[in-house]
Structure 1
Amino acid sequence: MVLRIDIGGVPVEGLRFGVSPLAELTAMLHVLAEPAHHPLFAGWAGEVWAGLRPELAERLREAEFLWRSSRADFLVPARARGSLAEELDDVDRIGDEAYVAAALVTTCGNDRVRFGGRSPLVDAGARERALGLAQARGGLQEAFAERLLADPVGVRARVRRTLEECAGAFFDAAWEGVVVRLAGDARVKGDLLRRRGVGAALAGVSGAVSLAPGGGAIVVDKLQDGVVSARGGGVTFLPSVFGRPHVVVVHAVGWRPVVQYPVAEVGPPGEGVSLEVVTRRLEALAHPVRLRLLRTLVRGGHTTGELAGAWGLSAPEVSRHLAVLRRAGLVTGRREGRYVRYVANVGDVAALGGDVLAAVLR
């Protein structure tokens, strides 16, 4: 499974490395929402949550769909600015329809969501579909989608105010500790691009990012398959400390492709497990379908039916693969009413090693 970014005809100067305060804040918010994905920052996340004002903590949870499983396009800027305020001003210039469409994709929990045609803000059919998808993800998602569609201006202002308050609560202090490192990494990668070309620069970005044979496309190892064009614009690359091990790609139609890649070091290894357990887990991951299911589950809980529908499999086939993953201790099933929702045991995946965790979380 790969995402291809078509760069045919794009000059070298169309590939830009930069440092984005908003993108790094979004990475921090993801860590706060999914601390198990980032063992290195689990302690930091705990301290931040403990120090947050209750009202701000509630607003972060209220809008976490914008950064939890994937990132809303407007939170990973294609044009890096010198300050968080400048980048938030750029977000304010985005039209309501583009903003709402991007927010709904993440709220509905599936980057395959496409509303097509008219906006949910003006088309009743698109609106009902968006609300139905959000409802299927949970009550919080449904409530957020309803507020967003009823009052996009108010929700946008509330999201901006939340992000601004994060600055004083935790972002400013964390940013001071990483900005020099981010700027240094962007500078090194930019020099590499100019001196040795696109292939060498991409090899330095991540093992998940490479130049396709012939040089006409950037290939990124991601959960989804897809093709997006960077012709007429280019690609922005943003290093991240808090984003490790994720490689985040913003690639919706109409947006300049952005790749946020990890610059941080791999954290300390997890606790040791028996060889028998390791063998069972590696055998479970050896099947491509099970690996695909696990990569889906680390992004959020899913039922058997949802997994079957997402990947074109039968429910019995999904159940058989989930049984293997459960015996290996890599997933857990939790009953919710009539359904069983499966979630990944990210800590046990991490125990297999940084490379395995990074591959699953891309």
Structure 2
Amino acid sequence: MSVVIDITSLPRERVLFAPSPLAELGVALHALAEPAHHPGLHGWTTTTAAALKPDLAGRLAEADFLWRSTISDILLPHQSVPGATLTEELDAVDEIDDERYVSAALEISCSVDYGRGGPSPLVDAAAGERALERAAARGPRQLDFVQHLLADPPAVRAWIRRLLEDCEQAFFADLWQRVRGQLAADARHKGELLRHKGLAAALAAVSPVVALRQDAHGESIVVDKLADGRTTATDPAVGPGVTLVPTALGWPHLLVLHAPGWRPVIQYSAAGSDVRPGPESAELMERRLEALAHPVRVRMCRFLARAPYTTGELAAGLAITAPEVSRHLRTLRAAGLLTTRRHGRYVQHQLDVARTARLGSDFLEAVLR
């Protein structure tokens, strides 16, 4: 399984390595929302979360689906060159029309709609109902937020911008000051590799799971992930190009923006930023690996590692029946790899990331990539 970016006939100067303050803020917010995904950042997430004022912490909880289960495309650079400051990038986000913005903001489940495009929840009643159902499964606060977003996009967009600006003032300005030099140096190094040794060498330096593929069909950047997707870097409606953005906080995630109508973006861990958890006992590993011997359960783990999901959501995302999902969930739960909680009439399941990490960093990186 992989995400493929078609770059046939794309000039090499349209492959850009550049840091993005907006993308790094998105990763920082994700780490605060899901600290178990980032054990190497435990000190930073604990200290930062403890220092948040109650009002800001509450507002972050209202909108956390923008960065908890997956980092929304509105938090990745979509312009040809990322802005030098957060303000510049937020100004660019303000230029996105409401339909595209709302569609990107509501990427809150394992829906198969992402790679297909499809109508915006603002204009399609069925898409709107699906968005509300997914939000309801995450609690009344998220449902209220999505209802407001669908009813008054400009007001909620302004609210989200103020929230991100308040995050910059509260903690991100200091963080960006510390990491931007590292990210700029990494982007320069990858750019030099591209110019002097070619794209294959530059991609190999990004990650072992990112590669250049050349065949009879053309030329593509291929990212090995437990998901399938395809896009092009030469869409005339968007403009030619692909952007590769280093992050100091993102490991083990490797994000790929491949939604139709958006400039492709790959966000990768900058050199020296990987922090890997230690292994667990062989006996425990053997017992739990037996539960992961089925490919459907591995794909299920990819979803459940990011956020809690209901049985119905998993059935839709995996294109299998709800009883099949329940059987696989029972196997994972029996191995001690799941947590389950009830939100009203919804029962949500989530992967226990801390326990899964003990299986080894390779598996954790694969399901979170």
Cα distance 1:281–1:107, how it changes in 2: closer, same or farther (>3 A)?
closer
Alignment-derived partner of residue 10 in structure 1: 10
Aligned equivalents of 2:149 and 2:141: distance in 1?
A: 12
Alignment-derived partner of residue 211 in structure 1: 212
CA drift at 1:18: 0.3
Aligned equivalents of 1:9 and 1:115: distance in 2?
A: 24
Letter in 1 for 2:234: R
Letter in 2 for 1:93: E
Deviations 1:282-310 (A, max 9, x none): 23233322211111110112233332332
CA drift at 1:353: 2.5
Aligned equivalents of 1:133 and 1:54: distance in 2?
A: 26
Aligned equivalents of 1:207 and 1:303: distance in 2?
A: 33
Aligned equivalents of 2:157 and 2:132: distance in 1?
A: 18
Residue number among 85, 88, 98 corresponding to 2:87 in the alignment:
85
CA drift at 1:111: 6.0
* 2:232 matches 1:229: yes
Contact 1:208/1:221 (CA < 8 Å) preserved in 2?
yes
Cα distance 1:67–1:268, how it changes in 2: closer, same or farther (>3 A)?
closer
Letter in 2 for 1:28: A
**What does 1:1-362 correspond to in 2, within 5 Å?**
1-78=1-78, 79-104=81-106, 106-107=107-108, 110=111, 112-113=113-114, 116-117=118-119, 119-214=120-215, 216-232=219-235, 233-263=240-270, 264-267=272-275, 269-270=277-278, 273-336=280-343, 340-362=347-369
Contact 1:239/1:261 (CA < 8 Å) preserved in 2?
yes
Gaps (5+ residues) in structure 2?
none
Aligned equivalents of 1:115 and 1:81: distance in 2?
A: 26
Gaps (5+ residues) in structure 1?
none
Letter in 1 for 2:64: E
Deviations 1:119-148 (A, max 9, x none): 433455543443334334432332111111
Mean Cα deviation higher: 323-332 or 193-202: 323-332
CA drift at 1:36: 0.5
Aligned equivalents of 1:266 and 1:281: distance in 2?
A: 25
SS of the residue aligned with 1:70? Answer: coil
Cα distance 1:273–1:108, how it changes in 2: closer, same or farther (>3 A)?
closer
Cα distance 1:24–1:228, how it changes in 2: closer, same or farther (>3 A)?
same
CA drift at 1:245: 1.0
Contact 2:3/2:225 (CA < 8 Å) preserved in 1?
yes
Aligned equivalents of 1:289 and 1:96: distance in 2?
A: 36
Letter in 1 for 2:359: L
Contact 1:266/1:354 (CA < 8 Å) preserved in 2?
no
Scaled by the length of structure 2, the TM-score of the pair is: 0.90
SS of the residue aligned with 2:300? Answer: helix
SS of the residue aligned with 1:302? Answer: coil
Aligned equivalents of 2:64 and 2:348: distance in 1?
A: 20
Aligned equivalents of 2:320 and 2:118: distance in 1?
A: 25
SS of the residue aligned with 1:352? Answer: coil
Cα distance 1:128–1:341, how it changes in 2: closer, same or farther (>3 A)?
closer
SS of the residue aligned with 2:263? Answer: coil
Cα distance 1:122–1:356, how it changes in 2: closer, same or farther (>3 A)?
closer
Aligned equivalents of 2:291 and 2:273: distance in 1?
A: 28
Mean Cα deviation higher: 272-281 or 196-205: 272-281
SS of the residue aligned with 1:216? Answer: strand
Mean Cα deviation higher: 317-326 or 251-260: 317-326
The alignment yields a C-alpha RMSD, in angstroms, of 2.1
CA drift at 1:254: 1.3
Contact 1:30/1:67 (CA < 8 Å) preserved in 2?
yes
Aligned equivalents of 1:132 and 1:323: distance in 2?
A: 24
Contact 2:193/2:202 (CA < 8 Å) preserved in 1?
yes
Cα distance 1:260–1:281, how it changes in 2: closer, same or farther (>3 A)?
same
Aligned equivalents of 1:124 and 1:336: distance in 2?
A: 25
Aligned equivalents of 1:111 and 1:27: distance in 2?
A: 23
Letter in 1 for 2:84: G
Aligned length: 359
Aligned equivalents of 1:277 and 1:336: distance in 2?
A: 31
Aligned equivalents of 2:346 and 2:129: distance in 1?
A: 23
Cα distance 1:172–1:94, how it changes in 2: closer, same or farther (>3 A)?
same
Cα distance 1:171–1:256, how it changes in 2: closer, same or farther (>3 A)?
same
